[in-house]
Structure 1
Amino acid sequence: MKNVIITGTSRGIGLELVKCFAEAGHQVLALSRNSQPVSDLNLKQVTALSFNLAEATDFETVKAYVNTHWKQVDLLIHNAGALVNKPFSELTPADFQNVYTTNVFGVAELTRVLLPNMVKGSHMVTISSMGGIQGSMKFPGLAAYSSSKGAVITLSELLAEEYKDSGIAFNVLALGAVQTEMLEEAFPGYEAPTTAAGMASYIFNFSLTGSTFYNGKVLQVSSSTP
């Protein structure tokens, strides 16, 4: 049984991941600004906390929960994401700040806070996007989003190097098109071949086994464009 923390659990892939880990008997701490969807599932061994990546005190709440109930974190899955879809000429500093707060700064801070609780064999998985892959196809309107997803890829690579002697693995899954609410925001009307539940199943298995084979790596998980 693993102690698993997942962010962005109110909908889409995050909500499906909670179900996957709960059904497999793992302990789950589900973090999202809206904790109600997870609470409504009434799943045994799942705790839902209201968590805002922009609120410094919320990080301490997570830390306190872990120290009180678990001590050890086996899996940390950074799934939360923010997206702004508008022409670059219309993007404001506040737009960039909001996207980077969730997609980059929040990932870094939650990792920093929880690293003392991670041990040899722990695995951090960051959910990025094909839009953050250098040389991949890029789309107008996603300058803030895609650049932030590139940033967390580099962050994960650096963490793998800095903590390579700890036995903790840091990997990134760069996702292609998955049928979620966020995809609809980025590409209205586009129908992806992959469901949120299907992708969650893949992430679930990779989180449990991927650290055996990968560290500091970016895996492109995409069967279609966008």
Structure 2
Amino acid sequence: YYIVYAAGGVPEHMAYSTSSSINGPWKYQGRIMDEAKGSFTIHGGSIEIGGRNFMFYHDGLLPNGGGFRRSTSIEEFNWDGDKIPFIPFTKEGVTKPLRNFNPYQKVSAPTMAESYGLKTDRNAGKDNHYLTSINNGDWLKVRSVDFGNNVPSAVTVEVSDAQRNGTVEFYLDNLEGRPIAKIEVTPDSKGQLKSQVKGKATGVHDLLILFRGDDGELFNFKSWQFLH
């Protein structure tokens, strides 16, 4: 049995212990992560998926970050099922996706690799999460989106609680140039909205979704989906 935990008091680092029984006694096996940068806590945990191992933890390195404004980080590590190795922090985090992403399925809006300015919420008692606190200039990125060989014809989005005029814009790889699709949102908008796709969205790309609009919170964003 392995137990991985935040250790050392404040500031915390990650360590682990092992035992032949879940009830112990436990033998300390050492440090596996240093103290989190910019945060006095680290609160890590690991998963194995697709034959690969990932350690989740938090730090305070993003803009306006700190001990009480922490963000999630992930590092991949290899081990042989015996000794957990020391896992260094990297700026890049996980660089190789588990697999490419399918944009032709309905995608919950909080699905992302990176974002700016957005918050996640959900309806009480339900697990349907959505994005809120959306303001002009906020954005999100989904990595390794595979559009295949056929250019998508359209994209749909689902919004709610629209308060101001705004747009949902879709870009490939970066936010430069023109979007491949742009959907207008007004205070009367609700439910599903649709726009034609312009440009050749084929192959694998990072997909960025940019929100523009009047000053103040714009609307809630629930999901998106490209159509063949």
Normalising by structure 1, what TM-score?
A: 0.24
More strand by share: 2
Larger radius of gyration between Structure 1 and Structure 2: 2
More helix by share: 1
Normalising by structure 2, what TM-score?
A: 0.23
